[in-house]
Amino acid sequence: MRGETTMTGRFWGPVRDTAQGDGTWHFRLWSPSAGQVDLLTGDGSCPMQRDEAGLWQTSVPAFPGQTYQFRVDGQDIPDPASRLQAAGVNGPSVLVDMPAPRPWPGRPWSQAAICQLHVGCFTPEGTFATAAERLPGLAALGLTAIQLMPVGQFAGDRGWGYDGVLPYAPHPAYGSPGDLRRLVQAAHDCGMMVILDLVMNHFGPEGAWMHVAAPAFFDPARHTPWGAAINFDQPAVRDFWMGCAMHWLEGYGIDGLRLDAVHQMRGPGAQAFLTDLAAQVARLTPARHLITEDERNIPDLREAGHDAALNDDFHHAVHVALTRETDSYYAPFADDPVGDLALALSRGHVLEGQDRPGGPPRGAPCGHLPPTAFVNAIQTHDQIGNRALGERLLSLADPQAVRVAYGLLLAAPFIPMIFMGEERGDTAPFQFFADFDGDLAQAVRQGRAAEFPDIARRGDTVPDPIDPATMDRSRLTWAEDAHACGWMALTRRALAFRAAHVVPLLDSGQPDSSVTREGPGLIRALWQFPGGALALSLALGQPDPTPLPDPDLSVGQPGSPFSLTMKALQ
């Protein structure tokens, strides 16, 4: 069928016709329910032709930097696959013709040590350009990758990025497409990978013109917690997101994607799309990497080719052990968080379908997966920012306990991810912020306050997410005092141990793990790899009577309630 054939290639967004050499560009828009679609440029209006699948097309002379829009049944809209906007999310799109990324060899996934960052809060200026200037310092500490929170354009100038509506277009508050390309190049020059957080499960509440262009893009039978659900049963929808992923990976040379909340990508076609995405990414050179955020705790996508999943279980066990907080999603870890941490060190996930307090069973056995299939963290944008006041772990727990947990994170045989500033012990909060107007702004304020009724009962207030000061408070301090230097020294020591001892063991094959509980707050672990062994003794709340002798890495003072010793064995 002619329409089905049209849907098999990447067709979203404008493409310059290099074969003609006459400045012709092809414009495409999937709008199956529209009666008429026109292309609007500075030269006027041009009617587009529809095929049987609802794809509208035309070709006209144009040039990079020229603006354009689509008129769909009389409504002027930007290109949902816009590569750049002239201004906000409601205005014209801009033609972009970028050169191919500069080649680099990439890095194996086993070498990943990730720093997650929000471009707008990472530096005082909040731009791609100034972020690039900070990367050599991170690389010098031993970090090998940065993970950018979503940079696709969203409404306004301030936001976390998860309310994006133009996922192909870098947000102009951070800089130009060229600035982002130079950030990627700067990371590669430092030997660092760049991973991008990509949201495929919903669009934001303002500027989502896809609803006008193609209502069939959405599944009317489902709704996510953040917006209308995506209908992956449509070939054109799968093509949109496949094209978006490859746009960042191939067009910008980005090394991997963190796929947001894949458990909300449901319905016919979703699982097949994610499996196909892994297959397509596996064909790229150099190697690219896929991380999923998947609260289901199931192995399926990792078995289908995705490299890893975020491991909230590790975070929750550490957080409860250090803070004793047991509300909300911490409830299943309330009974024995140290025991849960031992289980996470042994099997990766804690929740694998067994009965647990605080909620229904969740998960499936994942202990057969390699340690590199789990991205562990003790702080992330979610776990900090979803608190009412956005406090970091250092503001909630014994600093010595946090240092030990941090050393464990960096040196254990799983993929570590830190949150920006964690490498220097930054205590600046990371609070929820947005930039909406009118009724939507008020709804966001009220919704945020309603999430934390206990704050109001104590006489406090939740920070106003619309106030620019909320984002300002969330910026890194970049302190250079003794506190920061001490944390950076720990980061450097732990990551040097990781590079010298842990990564070669990970590369040697799957380990056999033996993790034992030696006391209420004492864990011993031995991972036996084909290429050697890794031993650990961890004290969380009681002195360690027999720390490892002559350790390769130690954190904390002997005889203190919190300590870590690790050693590589031949």
Q: CB of 213 within 8 A of CB of 30? A: yes
Q: What is the Cα–Cα distance from 117 to 51, expressed in whole angstroms? A: 43
Q: Residue 524: enclosing H or E segment and its boundaries?
A: strand 522-529
| Active site residue ranges | 260, 293
Q: CB of 50 within 8 A of CB of 56? A: yes
Burial class from Cβ neighbours inside 10 Å (0-12, 13-18, 19+) for residue 523 reads buried
- Tell me, rounded to whole angstroms, the distance of Cα 272 from its chain centroid: 21
According to DSSP, residue 396 is labeled T
Q: How many Cβ atoms from other residues are within 10 Å of residue 283's Cβ?
A: 7
Buried b (16+ CB within 10 A) or exposed e, 40-59: bbeeeeeebebeebbbbbbb
**Residues sharing a CB contact under 8 Å with residue 365, sequence separation 6 or more, in sequence order:** 299, 347, 352, 353
DSSP state string for 403-442:
HHHHHHHHHSSSEEEEETTGGGT------------HHHHH
**Residues sharing a CB contact under 8 Å with residue 359, sequence separation 6 or more, in sequence order:** 331, 332
Q: CB of 54 within 8 A of CB of 32? A: yes
H-helix segments, 464-543: 468-473, 482-497, 503-508
